[in-house]
Chain A
Amino acid sequence: MKGILRLAYKLLVNDKAKFTALLVGITFAVFLMMFVTSMFIGVLNHASATVINIGASMWVMDPAVQTITNSIGMPDYVLDAVRSMQGVKYAVPLYSGGALVKLADGTYQSVTVIGLDDTTLFGRPQLIKGKIEDIYAENGFIAVNDSEFSKLENPDLGAEFELNDHRGVIVGIATVTTAGLYGLPTLYTTYERAIQYIPNPRYTLSNVLVEPKSPQDIPRIKQQVAALGYLAVTKDEFITRTAKFYVYQTGGGTNILIMTVISFIVGLSISGQTFYTFILENLERFGALKAIGTRSRDLVGMILFQATFTSLTGYGLGVGLCTMLISLAKLRLASYAAMVSYANLLLAFGMVVIITGVSSYVGVRRVLQIEPFDIFRG
């Protein structure tokens, strides 16, 4: 079989024009599918940045909340109620909101402010400069050194700014796992300072962060929180909830689906049509091979090998091209929202398998239909 496959390989790659067209078609389709889905996955990942960075096991929120950015304040008693629930190891408050800061040069900049529990500082970021206890110092804030850091004029320790007529001082520079989606710098401070400095509605508690005693306690906690009229979700569920919001309620998912389907159709059209032409051009010779004594299953094997080889090569090139472009973009823009994941690798692979299957089916059908007698008859 090795020799027969080598024969199939030579027939394929020696036809440079068609082989190139086939590769370009599949590479282009895979690239588009990968790129579009990578961007979307990147956006979803950035949309859940705070959830990922804070790292709490469970989040309690108003049931109407879809993402961390549209938090709805809860009354303070919710925190006390959650703390008293069975299965809760500890629970802390979290403030998350937007604010406008006035920088040293007099310009204004929107920021995201995260208010951490004053007692525990649960969810604090990893500092690369300064000491975490300085957050308790007068007007202390920690700035996150992500891709948006420069919008705060690259502050160093001691840099000052104004927030709602309050003085703010940078006492630490931190790093986080994931940058936010909206291009806003992030400032961490204590919960009490956050609700004191930032004008707020009646209720100020954005979320309650919960650590269950054991994973088995999670359903019970959810049940008790629901009885209170609120919603408790795990970290992964919150990320999924955020993703679902962007997929189903913003039109993003539909657009991605349309782009993916278009990429698939383009890839299928180019490679299917080119492969079919390749088979048609060689049809008489395949007929001659049949006459000489090639078994049908060997011919099918040859065609399947040709289609599979082309598809896998195109898949590799498409994935490589997409990864290279995303890497290059991230060199320029650290928070570039695109991410290659197993999910979109598998999706693109699945599409390629379908393209291979359809192209092979068309080719195999034609080759099996040809009668060696037709070769004699001319």
Chain B
Amino acid sequence: MPKAAIEANGLNKWFGEGEAKTMALRDVSLQANFGEMVYIVGPSGSGKTTLLSVLSGILKPNSGSVSVEGVDIWSLGADDLADFRLNKIGFVFQDYHLFPRLNTAENAAIPLILKRHDWDESIREAAKYLEIVGLKGRADLPPVKLSGGEQQRVAIARAMVGQPDILIMDEPTASLDGDTGQAILKFVHDNILNANRCIVVVTHDSRIYEYASRILTLEDGRITRTKASAA
């Protein structure tokens, strides 16, 4: 039986009050297991990003619960929740959000530095991950010297350097051309995903569906469809 990495039950989230109230999530329940690459897809405004934020401990739902590895994350205090994210979850953002004034290795080492690891040790560890994502010899370059695909690889190295159990990817191909996007997701599927890791990807890029274990379709804040495999 697959082990649950993330379990969400009865999630509701709305923004605004009164006439301005907008429902972003309506009674959403889902489970993402270790060894799975779960895609959340849907049209713009369907609530994908809100769901991702709620699942990763960034945005508090108005009701419902989220358990990550059995821990009810929304019962944690602000500092504990930050520590939980730092230790358990890796983030890959749509726009990478790399620091232009730091070199590639320093960018990738940030989670370790935040965990108060020794600086030099963190840089060495980050360099290893840069090698894994195919950026050997680029550790000293600033992000602006890298292509979009390479920057996304740095972001993946940054997300992975702390060896999190869960990887959250928000529109990972949105800023990339088709081939690069496919190559990145193939890389993640073949090299990052394993039996002890769960990857959640928000996307509306159908060209990368082939790497999904399951695809959850979100429409108007509701999961309307679950597809076991795109293949």
Q: Does B86 contact A (CB under 8 A)?
A: yes
**How close is B106's CB to chain A, nearest CB, in angstroms?**
7
B116's nearest neighbour on chain A, judged by CB, is A3
On chain A, the residues within 8 Å of B95 by CB distance are 284, 378
Whether B93 pairs with A298 at a CB distance below 8 angstroms is no
**How close is A303's CB to chain B, nearest CB, in angstroms?**
15
Mask, A218-245, CB within 8 Å of B = 1, is 0000000000000000000000000000
A19's nearest neighbour on chain B, judged by CB, is B101
Q: Does A354 contact B (CB under 8 A)?
A: no
CA–CA, A112 and B113, complex, Å:
69
Residues A376 and B102 in contact in the complex (CB < 8 Å), given A288-B93, A295-B83:
no
B54's nearest neighbour on chain A, judged by CB, is A373
Q: Does B19 contact A (CB under 8 A)?
A: no
Whether B101 pairs with A14 at a CB distance below 8 angstroms is yes
Residues A292 and B114 in contact in the complex (CB < 8 Å), given A3-B119, A373-B53, A375-B93:
yes
Q: Does B170 contact A (CB under 8 A)?
A: yes
Q: Does A332 contact B (CB under 8 A)?
A: no
CA–CA, A4 and B110, complex, Å:
9
B82 CB contact (under 8 Å) in A11, A293, A376 = A293
Whether A293 pairs with B87 at a CB distance below 8 angstroms is yes
Whether B99 pairs with A282 at a CB distance below 8 angstroms is yes
Q: Does A249 contact B (CB under 8 A)?
A: no
On chain A, the residues within 8 Å of B97 by CB distance are 284-285, 287-288, 375
Residues A10 and B110 in contact in the complex (CB < 8 Å), given A295-B79, A373-B59, A376-B52:
no
Whether A295 pairs with B82 at a CB distance below 8 angstroms is yes
A378 CB contact (under 8 Å) in B58, B94, B106 = B94
**How close is B66's CB to chain A, nearest CB, in angstroms?**
14
B111 CB contact (under 8 Å) in A1, A287, A292, A298 = A292
Whether B53 pairs with A289 at a CB distance below 8 angstroms is no
**How close is A298's CB to chain B, nearest CB, in angstroms?**
7
CA–CA, A378 and B94, complex, Å:
8
Whether B102 pairs with A10 at a CB distance below 8 angstroms is yes
Whether B114 pairs with A11 at a CB distance below 8 angstroms is no
On chain A, the residues within 8 Å of B49 by CB distance are 376-377
Whether A4 pairs with B114 at a CB distance below 8 angstroms is yes
Whether B86 pairs with A1 at a CB distance below 8 angstroms is no
B: contact size bracket: 35 or more
Residues A285 and B79 in contact in the complex (CB < 8 Å), given A291-B85, A298-B114:
no
**How close is A277's CB to chain B, nearest CB, in angstroms?**
14
Determine the main DSSP class of A at the interface with B. helix
**How close is A367's CB to chain B, nearest CB, in angstroms?**
14
Whether A296 pairs with B110 at a CB distance below 8 angstroms is no
Mask, B100-139, CB within 8 Å of A = 1, is 0110001000110110111100100000000000000000
Q: Does B231 contact A (CB under 8 A)?
A: no
On chain A, the residues within 8 Å of B52 by CB distance are 376
Q: Does B1 contact A (CB under 8 A)?
A: no
Report A238-297 residues with CB < 8 Å from chain B CB: 282, 284-285, 287-296
Whether A372 pairs with B58 at a CB distance below 8 angstroms is yes
CA–CA, A78 and B110, complex, Å:
80
On chain A, the residues within 8 Å of B89 by CB distance are 293
Q: Does A324 contact B (CB under 8 A)?
A: no
Q: Does B84 contact A (CB under 8 A)?
A: yes
B110 CB contact (under 8 Å) in A290, A292, A377 = A292
Residues A11 and B101 in contact in the complex (CB < 8 Å), given A292-B111, A295-B79:
yes
Q: Does A15 contact B (CB under 8 A)?
A: yes
A10's nearest neighbour on chain B, judged by CB, is B102
Q: Does B91 contact A (CB under 8 A)?
A: yes
A15's nearest neighbour on chain B, judged by CB, is B101
Q: Does B20 contact A (CB under 8 A)?
A: no
CA–CA, A377 and B170, complex, Å:
9
On chain B, the residues within 8 Å of A293 by CB distance are 82-87, 89, 111, 114
On chain B, the residues within 8 Å of A11 by CB distance are 99, 101-102
On chain B, the residues within 8 Å of A7 by CB distance are 102, 106, 110, 113
CA–CA, A14 and B83, complex, Å:
28
**How close is A356's CB to chain B, nearest CB, in angstroms?**
21
User: Most chain-A Cβ atoms within 10 A of its Cβ — which of B49, B58, B78, B95?
Assistant: B58
Residues A14 and B116 in contact in the complex (CB < 8 Å), given A291-B91, A294-B82, A376-B93:
no
CA–CA, A372 and B60, complex, Å:
12
CA–CA, A224 and B111, complex, Å:
77
Whether A289 pairs with B110 at a CB distance below 8 angstroms is yes
**How close is A194's CB to chain B, nearest CB, in angstroms?**
71
On chain A, the residues within 8 Å of B99 by CB distance are 11, 282, 285
Whether A376 pairs with B53 at a CB distance below 8 angstroms is yes
On chain A, the residues within 8 Å of B119 by CB distance are 2-3, 6
> Could you pull out 11 A-B pairs where Cβ atoms are within 8 angstroms?
A3-B116, A3-B119, A284-B95, A290-B82, A293-B83, A295-B78, A296-B78, A296-B82, A371-B58, A375-B97, A378-B94
| Chain A residues proximal to chain B, CB less than 8 Å | 1-4, 6-7, 10-11, 14-15, 282, 284-285, 287-296, 298, 371-373, 375-378
Other contacts beyond A3-B119, A4-B116: 7, CB < 8 A? A3-B117, A3-B118, A4-B114, A294-B114, A295-B79, A296-B82, A375-B97
In order of increasing CB-CB distance, the 8 nearest A-B pairs are: A293-B86, A14-B101, A288-B97, A293-B85, A3-B113, A373-B59, A372-B58, A293-B82
